[in-house]
Amino acid sequence: HRRLGHVAPGVVKEMYQSGAVRGMRLAGTEAPLCVPCIAGKQKRDPIPKQRSKRTDVLDVVHWDL
């Protein structure tokens, strides 16, 4: 799964069954727990479209360090 670029478990199984790769063994029938795949599928809140408006001078100051 990792060596093939984190493809879906079904794709790995199809490759094995069709003989597309030589020397490949299937370790089990269950999909492996893949931390990078789980992290990549996480959802996050959307970025707000509007920021609160600043009304006074120097409410927000930006500088480079």
Instruction: Find the helix or strand (DSSP H, E) in which 10 lies.
Output: helix 9-18
What is the model's pLDDT at position 23? 85
Predicted model pTM: 0.50
pLDDT one-digit tens code per residue, 28-52:
767 667 888 888 888 877 777 777 7
What HEC string does 16-34 produce? HHHCCCCCCCCCCCCCCCC
